[in-house]
Structures are given as C-alpha cells and as structure tokens.
Chain A
Amino acid sequence: MEKAIKKFWPVFILPTLAAFIIGFIWPFIWGIGLSFCKFTTVKNVQFVGLDNYFKIWQDNTFVHAFVFTTAFTIVSTVLINVLGFTLALLLTRHVRGTNIFRTVYFMPNLIGGVVLGYIWQTLLNGLLTVLEKPLITLNATYGFWGIVILMCWQQIGYMMIIYIAGLQNVPTDLIEAARIDGATSRQVLTRVKIPMVMPSITICTFLTLTNSFKLFDQNLSLTGGEPAKASQMLALNIYDTFYARSGAQWKGIGQAKAVVFFLAVVVIALIQLRLTRSKEVQQ
C-alpha cells in the first residue's frame, strides 16, 4: 500500500489540485490583474495602472464599512468564543441529555446564511414592532446587534463542538493531579484546561475572526446595508460597488477594493494566529 501511494500519488492529488487551480488559484490571479484594469466584461479589459486603487475612497463608503466591519468582528469574535467555550464546559460535565443539547446547539449551523438572515429579520422585526421601535432596516445600531445575535446563534454551536473535542482531550490525570494539589475549580480551568485547549482556541478564533470579517450573506439578507449603507459591511460594499453603479470604471474599483479587503483579512488572520499560537503548550 505504502509503495502504491508513493508511486501513484499524482493520481490522487491531481483531481483536487486541478480543481483548486481552476476554481481558486487562476480566478484569484485574474482577479488581482483585473484590479488594475477598467472593464465591463472580463474578456475586454483596459489597463489603467493603480488608478482604481486611488479611487477606492472616492465614494466615501469604504471607510465606514471598514469601521463597521472591524467593530462587528471584535464583538462577535469575543462573544461567540466566550459563549461557545462556556457551553462546551457545561456540556462536558456528563449531565443527562448532553448529546441532545450538543445536537440542538449545532443545528443552526446547518442552515444557510441567507435563509437565516430572512428568518431573523422577521423575528427581530416582530420583536421591534411589539416594543414599538423602528424596524431593523431603519436603525444601524439595531442592525449591528441584529447581525451579532444572528452570527452568535449560528456560530456558537459550531465552535462549541470544537471546544468540546479539545476539552475531552485534556488528560484526566492532569486534572486529578491538580485537584490533589489543592487547585480550586477556577484554577483547574485557567491553569490546566485553557492552556490545554489552546489549539482549539486558535482554530476557533481564526474561524470566527475571518468569518466575521468576510461576512456577506447574513448582512445582505438581514439589513441589506440599510439604513443608507450604515450597516454595510466590507464584502457587501464591494458587491455594491461592482453592481449598483453605472459605468465601466466601477468594476475595476470594486475589484481593487476586493484586493485591499483580501490583504486586510490576511494580515489580521496572521497576527491572530501568531498571538494565539505563542500561547499553545506542548502536551
């Protein structure tokens, strides 16, 4: 078997590699190229150099979207991870019905973002009507918290599963030894469990951070950026630049925004990985 794999590895790798190149690498390179061009269709482009990059800030919406997205990312990353971890702690205590709870909490993750957005729009609007407040598309603050609630509801279960897996991998003898040494349950948590699940924390913060930063469907369907783009996040802003404006120049500007957006995501994700990685301990 080993030998066969050594000999035939290209056969196993090629399909995925080819799909990856066709579906990801090539469009990605092309996309970067297009950000330097003016175009209506991608076949017929005109090179304009860095022009698009200078025009990114021209329509005054990119900065606001950036700030809004950053604020959202911070709030949702903290909330999702804290709540997800808390749930994971609760559900690794061997209480009855643990499996049912785990399944139930995981389920929201199986529903698509757009659908969730519309469902929550109805729910939140219903609530706001009862409270006699303006609807969610009328108030950017409600919009912000609406997206936070929606993302928490969707993501907590998924992060919980990762944390549960991490917590179950903490050796019981370590915990027992800590207890014998007289550690309180708080000390067990902060000195033993959390350091031991640090790899899970790395993964979960990475996932929530990048997911929140790149959020599109939920933003589109819950608020659509209303009122007047006040709840518009970066991905939606890019989409809007590309499609809601007339004139060939906007396609290139949208593309340039997307490249800037990509760089921002990469930088933020790398910083986060470095920070949490440094806290991981050898088991």
Chain B
Amino acid sequence: MKAKKLLSLGIAGTMAVALLAGCSSSGSSSSAASSGDTATSEASAASTTAAGKVYYLNFKPEQDEQWQALAKVYTEQTGVPVTVVTAASGEYETTLMSEMAKSDAPTLFQVNGPIGLANWKDYCYDLTGSDILGQLTSDTYALKDGDATLGIGYVIESYGLITNKTLLEKAGYTIDDIKSFEDLKKVAEDITARQDELGFAAFTSAGMDSSSDWRYKTHLANLPIYFEYQDEGITSTDAIKGTYLDNYKNIFDLYINNSTCAPTELAGKTADDSRNEFLAGEAVFYQNGSWEYVNLTQDGTFTDDDLAMIPIYFGVGDEANQGLCTGTENYWCVNSEAPEEDIQATLDFINWCVTSEEGTKAMANDMGFVIPFKGAQESSNVFVKQDQEMTAAGKTPVSWNFTTMPSENWKNGVGSALTAYAAGTGDWDGVVTAFVDGWATEAALNATA
C-alpha cells in the first residue's frame, strides 16, 4: 500500500517536472529560433582556448543559409563559436527586443539607419578605432551619433526600374531612349496605348499590400526627400517641405495608370504578384532593387542580357547624370552590454568577414552583396555591375535618405494615403498631408523623449 502511494507520488512528481520542463524549453526555443536555425559548433570550440563567442541576429532571411555556412567556416578556423539566428521577415525589431533582454543576448545585431539607431543607441558599442572601421572604403557608410561610430553599413544595394530589355525592344525602344522622366513617360504611355497589340503593359502592378507598399512609401518617397535635401544642403530634417511632391505624384500616376491592372485593384496586390508579372513578361518595368537579381534569374527565366536597371527618373535636376538609388539600410552594431571578450570576438569576426578570402567571397558570391570594404570581391549581380558602371561614367547615385524618415508610422501614413489615392477613395492632398504634416508630427513626437 505504502509502495503504491510512493509510486503514485513519484509519478505525479515526474509529471509535474515534465510539464514545467516542457513549458520552459518550448518557451525559449520558440522565441530564439523564431525562424532561422542556430548553428553552433561547440566541438571545435572546446578543443581550443578561444575566449568569447559571437551571436549574430541576422536581419536578412534570404541569406540565412549562407551566414550559417560562413559561421561554420569561421568556427573551424578559429575555434570561436558563432551562432547565427535569423529573425523572420518583418519580425526583426520584435525578435531583437526579446533577445536583447536575455542573458545570452546577441553580440552583433542590425539597425536600419539613424532612426532605427534611436531605439538601440544605448546598446551600441562605440566602434571608433576598430579594425573594421579602417576597412571601410568611405566614411559615409559609418553610422554616427555625435562623435561615436555606432554602426557600420556592411552591404550596399541599389534600386531603380528593372527593365525587361527584350520586351522594350519589342515595343520599339531601347534603354538608351530613356534618359529622363519625359522619355519614360512617353515610352510608358506609348506601350499602354498599344497594350492590346503588344500583349504587355509598361509597369508591373504597384501593389500597395504591406508586402509591397514599401517600394512606394519608402523607396520611391526617397526621391522627393533626396532632391529636397540636395536643394537645402541638409542630410535630415524635422520638417519636410515637400518641394518635389508634384514630381512624386507624376511618377506614381505613371506607375498606376500604365500598369497591368486597374488602379483600384492595387490595394490588394502583393510583392509576389508584381514579381510574377515581371517574370511572366506581362510588363516591361519593375521598380525594385539589386536584391531581386537572384529571384529573377535563378530558374533561368531571364539571363543577364535580358535585364537592365535604369534610374528612376524624376524630372528634377540633371537627369542625364542621375544614377541608381544606392545606399544601405543595413548597419552592423556590436552590443555594448556583452562581456568584454564577446565584444572582442565579435569585432574579430566581422573584420574577418570583410577581409578574409572566405568571408569576402561568401559575401560577394553566395550572398550577392556589394560590401563597402577595401577587400571586397567582384559581385556577379548584373544590377550591381550596372551601378558601378554608371558611377564610373560620372553619374551621381541617389543616396538613400529614407533612413531619415521620422518613423515607421510616418511611412504607414504615406502608404495609406497613396493606396487611397490610387484607388480613388482619397485625393493627392491626402498624400501631401501625410507626407508633410505627418513628418512634422512624427518628428515632434520623436523629440518628446
């Protein structure tokens, strides 16, 4: 009898422990590995005396595998354990916030520019004097707060109008015919006029679904901001004037009125819709960036000869010498709260990534990045090559000023207004209000810290 009681007590106890263990372990694994896998090579770490470890919370899900592989190589060579965790698309900020609160916080993380830095600057190690800073080809890729360098841009990307050259020729034009906004308008409207005969449209759908609206509320909106900053000679502002919003309207009108679908349907179109239209040859132009290269070429739909990226002509300034929109919104930051040896290990790791043969090769070829470091390797990405050619030919790249947009909330406001405008339920004044007044409001809210 007594034995039975003891047995039942024991079983109940085991169940209790199992239950607790179950909930604790599932809790940690679900938050840590919310999307990517972790790859730590403890075996080799144990055999050496390397101090410190690296934990990289990666922002780009499309390069997760490549980072895992690179981390493995580094661990094999040096014995320093490198963990790479990738946050799910759109979940970086959420993941970072919960990971940073843990005892084993990421030692290396990313911010997207000055505005993103506002959240995290208390956690950023000052990189002044570090090896990697000396490797940068230009000081513009260092993210500064006052005198401190808190972030390092590690990948440069370009965006513009990706053009299907074959279709453009079918319509009777070449990319050399497009040298200004007027040219672009003429070509696009001519294609639309002959759409039935040609069987394709000028632009892929300017989808305003949340998977795609960043192409307009962020990337396209960069142009009026860029030209205004140029005029004023500033690099950020608390109150945008909206000098070039009419040009913004013109190009957006061009996009939505010469598209594969009616403007009223754009609110529901996704990024995939737009890409698939381009892949299916339903449209000539597709506004997107160099990161799309792999998606467009991987299954052989397009070869390098079919594709070109032309600048987003805006009808402002010296259009003949306008280049692609080139810049970065990927900055590496080192966690200042991490133990000293982990910080050192992290600095060594990122320096190795951009200087060593393996690191630069992996970043150029496997990840398709152009990195702003002295040891960078040639990338095979055709859009990237074009950007380099244009810059070499004396064209001025349009810098990425959208990192100075006051908040995500501002972008969403502009996005909503653009969507309503495209669908006809709102007017352009709504966009102007969201753009100009929204900017002032958000900047004021940011200032009330």
Contacts and interface: CB of A to CB of B under 8 A. Distances in A.
Interface of A: 4, 8, 11-12, 14-15, 18-19, 22-23, 40-44, 55, 58-59, 121, 125, 129, 132, 134-135, 137-139, 224, 226-229, 240, 243-249
A228 B267 contact: no
A248 to B, nearest CB: 7
A247 B118 contact: yes
B122 A15 contact: no
A246 B118 CA distance: 6
A18 B409 CA distance: 39
A44 B419 contact: no
Contacts of B276: none
Contacts of A40: 97, 100, 119-120, 122-123
Contacts of A8: 9, 12
B108 to A, nearest CB: 16
Interface string B46-68: 00000000000000000000000
Nearest to B117: A246
Interface in B319-341: 337
Interface residues of B, number: 47
Contacts of A248: 118-119, 122, 449
Contact of A246 (B424, B425, B446): B446
B419 A227 contact: yes
Contact of A249 (B120, B267, B425, B449): B449
Given A19-B19, A40-B120, A129 B101 contact: no
Given A41-B100, A135-B423, A228-B434, A11 B446 contact: no
Given A11-B13, A132-B264, 15 more contacts: A4-B5, A19-B20, A40-B120, A40-B122, A42-B101, A125-B268, A134-B423, A138-B423, A138-B425, A227-B419, A228-B413, A243-B93, A245-B445, A249-B448, A249-B449
A44 to B, nearest CB: 7
Nearest to A126: B268
B15 interface: yes
Contacts of B353: none
Given A227-B425, A244-B408, A249-B449, A15 B116 contact: no
Nearest to A226: B416
A44 B5 CA distance: 48
Interface in B5-62: 5, 8-9, 12-13, 15-16, 19-20, 23
B132 interface: no
B333 to A, nearest CB: 13
A43 B412 CA distance: 30
A132 B424 CA distance: 12
Contact of B419 (A12, A42, A226, A249): A226
